[in-house]
Amino acid sequence: MRPTGKLHLGHYHGVLKNWVKLQHEFECFFFVADWHALTTNYDDPSGIQESVWDMVIDWLAAGVNPGSSTMFIQSKVPEHAELHLLLSMITPLGWLERVPTYKDQQEKLREKDLATYGFLGYPLLQSADILMYRAGRVPVGADQVSHVEITREVARRFNHIYGREPGFEEQAEGAIVKMGKKNAKLYRTLKKRYQEEGDLEALETARALLKEQQNISLGDRERLYGYIEGGGKVILPEPQPLLTPESKMPGLDGQKMSKSYNNYIGLREDPDSVAQKIRTMQTDPQRVRRTDPGEPEKCPVWGLHQVYSDADTQEWVQTGCRTAGIGCLECKKPLIDAIIEEQRPLQERAREYEGNPDLVHAIIEEGCEHARDAARDTLEEVRAAMGLSYR
């Protein structure tokens, strides 16, 4: 996530709740993309550092757990920059120019000079961010799937160019022997079924078999992934998008919640401020007087009820609004209570970290070290494949 400072409820419902769930299902890496912030804000980096720590505290407050995931800052793992450089040697210029957000962002941010190498190359830096950790899944919204797709293309091209190491087949056969007689026989059977009959189930079974092997190295495992598919060694596995459920959290005006629209409620916003924002929300323009009936679907407040209210409350809103049985302030009261109640545990957790910045820094330092260990392993193989391993 790019460091944009303190987060709002749109981030919480759209991203963070999903992260909290995923950290218990996968090995997760969550990082602050501070270099990516410079691709559009290179001329004013003054707020980046403060924004980084504000955002990390929000992650922790939301329940992202450093014991269950790896949290780090992109620029503190310089291996990202090296992999970006090495991938840039093989990435065609046209691939970057056709990324949908490239022209889209240039149109939206016309006041900025985005004719820079960094802006053109940011999708490749994203690819390096993903491929560095040999990610199987990347949680993204539908609008970001194209970035995962270019990452898959870059990985495919890299593996095609560099995966055919000298003596590949001999090394692959040697790796099969290391699996033991029973597993080696099963692997060969699955390989034959996939390559001769196109049996995709055999391919998946073989992948699962390789994943379980404790007595072969990571390099041998990737070599055998490539061997069964009839290619070379898979140095950089192709990731798959893991579609994030679309956020249903509207802003105070009914549009998407966004700082740029100034229609947001902060994740850690003061309860009095939350109450004031909800009370002053625009409602159905047809309800000029308390006795005028309204249409909930034409009122931004109804969108928040769909997120926060149970079926009984929603029914009460629908009936009360259409019959003028309730006023707009009455309608907003359960929303105020629900939002403040949701924020309470987040604010309590946040206070612990706000009062102990050294703890926050220590969490990130530990995450950076763990990320660097994983990054070094990947780069060691990438350098060797590209002929840059000097001993």
Residue entry with tokens 């099963």:
186
Residue 37 near residue 2 (C-beta atoms within 8 A): yes
Under the banding of pLDDT at 50, 70 and 90, the label for residue 306 is very high
Task: Say what the pLDDT of residue 131 is.
Answer: 98
Statement: residue 317 has pLDDT above 80: yes
Range from 138-147, 305-314, 356-365, 370-379 carrying the lowest mean pLDDT: 138-147
Question: What contacts 196, CB < 8 A, 6 or more positions away?
Answer: none
Q: Where are the alpha helices (DSSP H) in the chain?
A: 9-11, 17-22, 34-41, 48-62, 79-88, 93-97, 100-108, 117-131, 145-162, 168-178, 181-197, 200-212, 218-228, 271-279, 300-308, 311-322, 328-354, 357-385
Assess whether pLDDT exceeds 80 at residue 238: yes
Has this prediction a pTM greater than 0.95? Answer: no
Residue 303 near residue 263, CB atoms below 8 Å: no
- Residue 218's pLDDT is 79
Grouping H, G, I as helix, E, B as strand and the rest as coil, residue 211 is helix
**Which residue would you say has higher pLDDT here, 106 or 253?**
253
Please compute the mean of the pLDDT values over residues 357-370 and round it to a whole number: 98
At 40, the pLDDT band (50, 70, 90 cuts) reads confident
Token pair for residue 313? 């409350």
What does the alpha-carbon distance between residue 265 and residue 313 come to, in Å, rounded to a whole number?
A: 22
What is the DSSP secondary-structure string of 261-293?
Answer: GT---BTT--HHHHHHHHHT----TT--STTS-
Average pLDDT over residues 270-274: 97
- The percentage of residues in the chain with a pLDDT greater than 90, rounded to a whole number, is 74
326 burial level (CB within 10 Å; 0-12, 13-18, 19+): middle
Note the pLDDT tens digit of each residue in 66-78. Answer: 999 999 999 999 9
Task: Please report where in the chains the tokens 């009455």 appear, as a residue.
Answer: 330
Cβ(240)–Cβ(136) below 8 Å? yes
* pLDDT tens, residue by residue, 95-147: 898 888 777 777 778 888 888 999 999 999 999 999 999 999 999 988 889 99
Under a CB-based contact definition with an 8 Å cutoff, are residues 154 and 121 in contact? no
Question: Token pair for residue 33?
Answer: 């993309």
Q: Would you state the pLDDT for residue 108?
A: 79
pLDDT band at residue 38 using 50, 70 and 90 as cut-offs: very high
pLDDT reading at 219 higher than 90: no
8 A C-beta contact, residue 327 and residue 290 = yes
Mean pLDDT over all residues of the chain?
93
Q: Which of the four pLDDT bands, split at 50, 70 and 90, describes residue 245?
A: confident
Note the pLDDT tens digit of each residue in 161-177.
888 767 888 889 999 99
For residue 109, the model assigns a pLDDT of 81
